[in-house]
Amino acid sequence: LLQYTRGTVTAFAPFDARADAEALRKAMKGLGTDEETVLTVLTTRNNAQRQEIASAFKTLFGRDLVDDLKSELTGKFETLMVSLMRPAYIFDAHALKHAIKGAGTNEKVLTEILASRTPAEVQNIKQVYLQEYEANLEDKITGETSGHFQRLLVVLLQANRDPDVGVDEALVEQDAQVLFRAGELKWGTDEEKFITILGTRSVSHLRRVFDKYMTISGFQIEETIDRETSGDLEKLLLAVVKCIRSVPAYFAETLYHSMKGAGTDDDTLIRVMVSRSEIDLLDIRREFRKNFAKSLYQMIQKDTSGDYRKALLLLCGGDDD
């Protein structure tokens, strides 16, 4: 897999899985739990190391670390610690499975994951989904969604976006004109054109298309999508456009909205902090500071409390003044 280097969490050294397992057992044994030890160990080791700790824990004590965490911890703090323990390769597949099971589908999760992951990552998610859950992810998603929203999800699930090799200016011009005619110039919108172009063209090509679109129409493509579409399709199209422009900026905005206003969307906060902690959280922090007049660290500090806050701040890895 890709070697990511913009994460806040990296391999801990010197690492001793057995010593960590012993420390965790001691922290959870007997009356009361030493949460500080639990959160410090789990947020400062990377995912691969956490898996080694779980394995050492079972070897030494014949106990399942995740089961122990679930029985000793509660609430959002428990959810965060258990999420950190989920093997990295299965994280997205697991999130998608839970987004499409039971009553009601969590469109937000489908949108966030499928708009932001690379084609290679999407292929991997599909494979893991099949292995782990013995089900076809595309079938599951099409069974729970409909309309143009469903069609764009299916296009993204094909993971066949054009590779980034040189940009053909003539095609850029053509795509920008097609989008302009399908949206602003049309009575009603030709959503299919948006779906095909935004779902299949290369990232560098689309960035040029967005510039050209602005020149032709006088609008940002986001403004047109906002006016011409609605509901889940609108949210997905906007997420795709934002991720084409900048994945870290998209996640900075996602984190900001998870905390702004009354109440916190903790599921989103946890999912993004955990899933990006070893990939690009440093870049996300930079975009956050640039776009929201405060740092991610400051916002987490203001919006959360207790051990949950301590753990999130450790994952955040520092402030950006």
Is there a contact between 92 and 125 (Cβ–Cβ < 8 Å)? yes
How many C-beta atoms surround the C-beta of residue 2 within 10 A?
A: 8
Architecture field, domain 89-158:
Orthogonal Bundle (1.10)
Which two tokens mark 7?
């994460």
Asked whether the bond before 14 is cis by omega within 30 degrees of 0, the reply is yes
The position carrying tokens 């206003």 is 261
Please state the pTM of the whole predicted model: 0.94
Q: How high is the pLDDT of residue 1? A: 46
- Name residue 283's amino acid: D
The upper half-sphere exposure of residue 231, i.e. CA atoms within 13 Å in the direction of its Cβ, equals 8
What ranges do the domains of the chain cover?
1-85+247-320, 89-158, 169-245
State the first-to-last Cα distance of the chain, in angstroms, to the nearest integer. 33
What is the CATH number that goes with domain 1-85+247-320?
1.10.220.10
Q: Which CATH number is correct for 169-245, 1.10.10.10, 3.40.1690.10, 1.10.220.10, 3.40.50.150?
A: 1.10.220.10
Q: How high is the pLDDT of residue 3? A: 59
Q: Read out DSSP for 126-192?
A: HHHHHHHHSS-HHHHHHHH--HHHHHHHHHHHHT-PPP-----HHHHHHHHHHHHHHTTTSSS--HH
| Tens-level pLDDT at each residue, the chain (321 residues) | 455 679 999 999 999 999 999 999 999 998 889 999 999 999 999 999 999 999 999 999 999 999 999 999 999 999 999 999 999 999 999 999 999 976 678 999 999 999 999 999 999 999 999 999 999 999 999 999 999 999 999 999 999 999 998 899 999 999 999 999 998 777 767 999 999 999 999 999 999 999 999 999 999 999 999 999 999 999 999 999 999 999 999 999 999 999 998 889 999 999 999 999 999 999 999 999 999 989 999 999 999 999 999 999 999 999 987
Same topology between domain 1-85+247-320 and domain 169-245: yes
